[in-house]
Amino acid sequence: MENFRNQFRNKRYMAHVSILGTTQLHKRNPITIACWSMAFPGFGHLLLNKYLRGYALILWEMFINQKIHLNSAMVHTFNGQFQAARDVLDPKFMSLYIPVYLFAIYDSYRTSVDMNKIYVLAQREKGHFNEFSIGALEINYLDKRKPWLAAVWSMGVPSVGQLYLHRIVLATFILLSTIVIVWQSNLVLAIHYLILGDVAASSTVVDKQWLLYFPSYYFFTIYDAYTNTVENNKLFDDTQKQYLIENYQPVGHLVTIGEINNDANFRHI
């Protein structure tokens, strides 16, 4: 159940609020989006709210990375063990990795540029959209939240910051991915030995192939939660501003700060 039905369809809308989350348009830096795609294919698309494409690229990255043992080769390279890096790589799937990797960077950059243009047009059109959604399982609505708190929750456990923003599907995907990565890499056990001061056991027990996925996931969830909270707050302010202009400001009259108006509309404030 939603609180809005648009009688006259607009060509573009700034956002969509559903029980599973809020999807919105806002300006993004295409270079930043491309850099996140470089860090992990699919992350740039998730920042653009292109979820299906992002999930597909992330799953492909993890599948092909596991096949060719790219993370293990990177660890050997960082340690100067170049022969070991060459030996661990599987050449059967190497040629499949680079095209998709470059596509993720290119497509996220291109989409970011296009969506910035669409954002400008949607902002000028000022099309009304649903701001409240209630269903049998969830309730979602526009609200102001604290960006730093979203970042802190994501620092604790990846995906919690997304839950704080009511982005249910993305939070579920990130949480399941994080559980798999932490489980397969033995990260918690390695941290346990490290706290006890047994560095050798910590280094031995950890699976480096799986471990290298974690930093990208961890810092992405923090960045995503913070930036989307900021943009969500801007969207809330814009909708409130538009509502007040349409319902409490007389047509053709600009209300200034401190002005006293006896018009009947203002008695409802």
Query: pLDDT class for 267, splitting at 50, 70, 90?
Result: very low
Q: Comparing 2 with 160, which gets the higher pLDDT?
A: 160
Task: Give residue 264's pLDDT.
Answer: 46
Q: What is the pLDDT of residue 215?
A: 94
Q: Are 115 and 48 in contact (CB under 8 A)?
A: yes
Q: Which two tokens stand for residue 260?
A: 């006293």
Do 210 and 65 contact (CB within 8 A), yes or no?
A: no
CB 90 within 8 A of CB 67: yes
* CA neighbor of 101 nearest in space, from 44, 184, 174: 44
pLDDT reported for residue 90: 86
Instruction: Report yes or no: 209 and 88 within 8 Å, Cβ to Cβ.
Output: no
Asked whether residue 244 carries a pLDDT value surpassing 90, the answer given is no
Select from 134, 163, 106, 152 the least CA-distant residue to 18: 134
Judge whether 265 and 54 are in contact, CB under 8 Å.
no
Percent of the chain with pLDDT over 90: 58
Of 209, 167, 179, the residue nearest 54 (C-alpha) = 167
Residues contacting residue 97 through CB under 8 Å, at least 6 positions apart: 64, 65, 68, 70
Residue range 73-124, pLDDT digits in tens: 999 999 889 999 898 988 888 888 999 999 999 999 999 999 999 999 888 8
- pLDDT above 70 covers a percentage of the chain that reads 89
Which among 232, 241, 216 is positioned nearest to 74, based on CA atoms? 216
The reported pTM is: 0.86
In this predicted structure, the answer to whether residue 52 has a pLDDT above a threshold of 90 is yes
State the average pLDDT over residues 49-65: 95
The C-alpha torsion from 179 through 183 and 185 to 187, rounded to 10°, is: 80
Pair of tokens at residue 185: 């890499």
Q: What is the pLDDT of residues 185-236, one digit of tens each?
A: 999 999 999 999 888 898 889 999 999 999 999 999 999 999 999 999 999 9
CB–CB of 58/122 below 8 Å?
Answer: no
- The confidence score (pLDDT) of residue 266 equals 46
